[in-house]
Chain A
Amino acid sequence: GENVEQHPSTLSVQEGDSAVIKCTYSDSASNYFPWYKQELGKGPQLIIDIRSNVGEKKDQRIAVTLNKTAKHFSLHITETQPEDSAVYFCAAGEHQGGSEKLVFGKGTKLTVNP
């Protein structure tokens, strides 16, 4: 089955700096890669996703890149703000025998210092 590794586990940046979170996956058949932001006491909120037919996607201050050959994908947040502080999860969509599910990384706790 799919295995997703996420790094770093914690990340602290100054307000205005950029933050980068990296993930690798094991199953070359995976073709959907969402990123979620989770605030304390809340469920994960989808912030951006990418499908394997594109290499990069951008939405305002957030961008995701995908390298299918190397089986890794990254989240880039520019001009970070204190409200970006949260736990971020990457995931890979796994399809098997008519079923599908997301396999998640273990999360990155991002702290943006004012």
Chain B
Amino acid sequence: GAGVSQSPSNKVTEKGKDVELRCDPISGHTALYWYRQSLGQGLEFLIYFQGNSAPDKSGLPSDRFSAERTGGSVSTLTIQRTQQEDSAVYLCASSRKYSNQPQHFGDGTRLSIL
């Protein structure tokens, strides 16, 4: 079946511009996560959505970062006024509703800020 789909796969933009990254989770998965992976580093949690519950935004690094999930499915991560330190791979994962379910990742969006 279809896995987690992310778009675009690559994004190059100038410092100061806004960017939107999209994630389509696996059908039927109610939990959705965003992580950030800087060059040669592990994955850093950004935000967690579970059904209609309020999202856990505790991992967002600044108020320039925001995310939404419409209709309990597709999610967008928005970065406003991008900075060079925002350059990274942004990964989305989804899982079933229940606790400790495997998270399945997309291939990410590689974001480069010039």
Contacts and interface: CB of A to CB of B under 8 A. Distances in A.
Contact of A44 (B40, B45, B100, B105): B105
A54 to B, nearest CB: 13
B102 A34 contact: yes
Interface of A: 6, 31-32, 34, 36, 41-46, 49, 51, 89, 91, 93, 95, 97-107
B95 to A, nearest CB: 9
B23 to A, nearest CB: 11
Main secondary structure of the interface of A (DSSP, over half): strand
Contacts of B41: 106-107
Contacts of B103: 34, 46, 102
A87 B29 CA distance: 26
A61 B106 CA distance: 25
Interface of B: 4, 31, 33, 35, 40-45, 48, 50, 53, 56, 58-59, 91, 99-100, 102-108
7 A-B pairs closest in CB distance: A99-B56, A43-B105, A32-B100, A104-B42, A106-B42, A101-B45, A104-B43
B6 to A, nearest CB: 8
B99 A95 contact: yes
Given A42-B107, A105-B42, A99 B102 contact: no
Contacts of A46: 102-104
Nearest to A46: B102
Nearest to B33: A101
Contacts of B48: 99-101
A60 to B, nearest CB: 18
A15 B33 CA distance: 36
Given A32-B100, A51-B100, 5 more contacts: A41-B107, A89-B43, A104-B43, A107-B40, A107-B42
A107 B41 CA distance: 7
A34 to B, nearest CB: 6
A103 B45 CA distance: 7
27 contacts: A41-B107, A42-B107, A43-B4, A43-B91, A43-B105, A44-B43, A45-B105, A46-B102, A46-B103, A46-B104, A89-B42, A89-B43, A91-B43, A95-B99, A97-B56, A98-B53, A98-B56, A99-B58, A100-B31, A100-B100, A101-B33, A101-B45, A101-B56, A102-B43, A104-B35, A105-B42, A106-B41
